[in-house]
Amino acid sequence: MSVTFPTLSKGPVIINKSIAQDPSIRSKAEDGLVISRRRFTGNKSQFEVKYDDLPLADKTLLEAMQDSAGVGADTILWTNEDPNDSTVYTVRLSPEGIKFNIIPSDYDLHTAEFTFVEA
C-alpha cells in the first residue's frame, strides 16, 4: 500500500534528478578487455529534495509520512514539484530517511533534506 506525499505550505528549494544506479553490467576478460551490456531492468531515477524554512506543521506532516512509509519499506506517491516535470512518481525514501535541522535564527522553522529513489 502506497503512502501519499503530504501537501506542504512551501515548495522545495532544490530538486536534483539523477540516475539511481549504473544501468550496465561489466566483466573484465583475461586479456584486459572490458565487456559490458545493459541491464534488462529500467533506469531508475533518484531525486534529492531540500526544503528550507518549513514551519513545524510541515515538519510534522513529513515525519508522519516517513513513519507511515516505514522510511523505505513502503512506496510513496510523489508529484514532482519541478515546473518542467509534474509527473507522479512511485518512490521510496533512501535508508537515511529525512534529515531535519532547526534554523537557529527562528526555532519554529526547519530544513528538510531527503532522497527519493524510484520504485
CA distances from 84 to 33, 87, 116 (A): 41, 9, 18
Q: Work out the pLDDT band at 39, boundaries 50, 70, 90.
A: confident
Q: What pLDDT, in 10s, does the model give residues 1-33?
A: 799 999 999 999 988 888 877 778 889 988 989
Q: Work out the pLDDT band at 44, boundaries 50, 70, 90.
A: confident
Give the angle 71-53-72 at the CA atoms, nearest 5°: 5
Domain residues for the domain of 29 are: 3-118
> Could you tell me the three cell numbers for 72?
523505505
CA distances from 81 to 7, 26, 27, 84, 102 (A): 11, 35, 39, 8, 23
Query: For the chain, how many structural domains are there in total?
Result: 1
Q: What is the pLDDT of residue 108?
A: 87
Residue with cell 534528478: 17
Q: Are strands 24-28 and 45-55 parallel, antiparallel or unpaired?
A: unpaired
Is residue 40 over pLDDT 80? no
